[in-house]
Chain A
Amino acid sequence: MDDHLLVIFPHPDDEAFGVSGTIAQHTKKGLPVTYICLTLGQMGRNMGNPPFATRESLPLIRQKELEDACAAVGIQDLRQFGFRDKTVEFEDEKFLADQFLAVIEEVKPTRLITFYPGYSVHPDHEATARAVVRAVGSMPEMDRPELLCVAFAKNSEEDLGAPHVVTDISDVFEEKMNCIKAHRSQTQWLVESVDKDPAMLAWVKNERFWRYPL
């Protein structure tokens, strides 16, 4: 059976910072990755500096950036779910979970990466994470993928302990940086600080995940 990785996030660039190295390592082995991206981040406020986007042109710009970012780390199966930024928590949770479940049953992932419910700060992140947990939790135990979660709330380590999985992604650092850079309208500031700040470099080179107890 193929070792298939499924990644589920609400915004273009959510995959870039914490997960794209893990994705690149997976695709480099010739293994398949499916990425479900729920929105186009169309209500974001970073417009470039000086601004090169408007509220109305931003969705198309972010869609192209997302496709380029996926290409940078070898993702061939990008599923765009077409929700609107900042509205995910207002959608019906079961409806979302059922949509995730349909993809899980189709691609049969061995690993699934999303945000950690309660520890992912943005309301869209939290709503996505809750629906993913609901989808996986509804599956028979033996069929469930390994569920790895990204947590970045300030109290994450205090409450959850040290990350259960820390992956050194130095071997795909270039691919990861190209993925981050592809999200140009959102990541100009980060690319600059990675060059200057050793702590930021260490953060980019290590991807940290917690297993969610189901």
Chain B
Amino acid sequence: MQLIQTNEVQKTLDQLIGKELYLHLETTNGAYANHNNESVLTVNAYIRNGKVTPLSGKIMGNGPYRVGLKIELGWIYAEGLTHWEIDTEGRLLMAGHDAEGRLAVALQLSSSPFDV
């Protein structure tokens, strides 16, 4: 992955508008968050292969970045994004990594389902 360049990401988002896509959206502070520090709540959530059609999409902020995608009946939102790539299968992968390189948030869009 590479550091986010907003103009490149925005161009990619623009190309996805109106298309039927598969969504992977995730946030995590690790399964051991509370084991390592009892004052922290362990929080992990993901949806894999939600089917969505974005009506519009924007990347905002000065880094780490936020992405908001408008869909017919609501929104998709992710904050803390730092890295991105278009992988060998043409999927848009965006992720937020903390100072130790650990993944904290991921927002991914693909025209075919993600592996399960």
A-side residues, CB < 8 A to B, are 43, 45-51, 54-57, 59, 84, 86, 121-124, 153-154, 189
Could you tell me if B104 and A56 are in contact, using CB atoms closer than 8 angstroms? no
Task: Report the minimum CB–CB distance from A195 to chain B (whole Å).
Answer: 18
Q: For this complex, into which size category does the number of interface residues on chain B fall?
A: 20 to 34
Extra 15 A-B pairs, beta carbons < 8 Å, given A46-B103, A47-B95, A54-B93:
A43-B44, A45-B30, A45-B102, A47-B102, A48-B101, A54-B87, A55-B93, A59-B115, A86-B44, A86-B46, A121-B32, A121-B35, A124-B31, A153-B35, A189-B100
Could you tell me if B103 and A55 are in contact, using CB atoms closer than 8 angstroms? yes
Please tell me which one of the listed residues B93, B101, B106, B114 contacts residue A49 in the complex, with CB atoms under 8 A apart: B101
CA–CA, A54 and B100, complex, Å: 15
Compute the total of residue contacts between A and B using a CB distance below 8 Å: 62
Q: A55-B24, A121-B35 are in contact. Are A45 and B104 (CB under 8 A)?
A: yes
Give 23 pairs: A residue, B residue, CB < 8 Å, sorted on A.
A43-B46, A45-B30, A45-B102, A45-B103, A46-B103, A47-B101, A47-B103, A49-B100, A51-B83, A54-B85, A54-B87, A54-B93, A55-B26, A55-B95, A55-B103, A56-B91, A56-B114, A86-B44, A121-B31, A121-B35, A122-B31, A122-B32, A154-B35
Could you tell me if A56 and B87 are in contact, using CB atoms closer than 8 angstroms? yes
CA–CA, A67 and B70, complex, Å: 43
Which residues in chain B, 57-106, are within 8 Å of chain A measured between CB atoms? Answer: 83, 85, 87, 91, 93, 95, 97, 100-104, 106
B1, CB-defined interface residue at 8 Å: yes
B-side residues, CB < 8 A to A, are 1, 24, 26, 28, 30-32, 35, 44, 46, 83, 85, 87, 91, 93, 95, 97, 100-104, 106, 108, 114-116
Please tell me which one of the listed residues A43, A49, A50, A154 contacts residue B28 in the complex, with CB atoms under 8 A apart: A43
Could you tell me if B24 and A86 are in contact, using CB atoms closer than 8 angstroms? no
* Residue on A nearest B89 in the bound complex, by CB: A56
Could you tell me if A46 and B26 are in contact, using CB atoms closer than 8 angstroms? no
Could you tell me if A45 and B28 are in contact, using CB atoms closer than 8 angstroms? yes
Residue of A47, A54, A121 with most chain B CB atoms under a 10 A cut-off: A54
Could you tell me if B101 and A46 are in contact, using CB atoms closer than 8 angstroms? yes
Could you tell me if A84 and B103 are in contact, using CB atoms closer than 8 angstroms? no
Task: Report the minimum CB–CB distance from A128 to chain B (whole Å).
Answer: 13
* Residue on B nearest A42 in the bound complex, by CB: B115
Task: Report the minimum CB–CB distance from A175 to chain B (whole Å).
Answer: 26
Task: Report the minimum CB–CB distance from B88 to chain A (whole Å).
Answer: 9
Could you tell me if A123 and B31 are in contact, using CB atoms closer than 8 angstroms? yes
* Residue on B nearest A153 in the bound complex, by CB: B35
Residues of B within 8 A of A49 (CB): 100-102
Residues of A within 8 A of B100 (CB): 49, 189
Could you tell me if A46 and B28 are in contact, using CB atoms closer than 8 angstroms? no
Task: Report the minimum CB–CB distance from B97 to chain A (whole Å).
Answer: 5
Residue of A122, A124, A189 with most chain B CB atoms under a 10 A cut-off: A122
Residues of B within 8 A of A86 (CB): 31, 44, 46
CA–CA, A123 and B44, complex, Å: 12
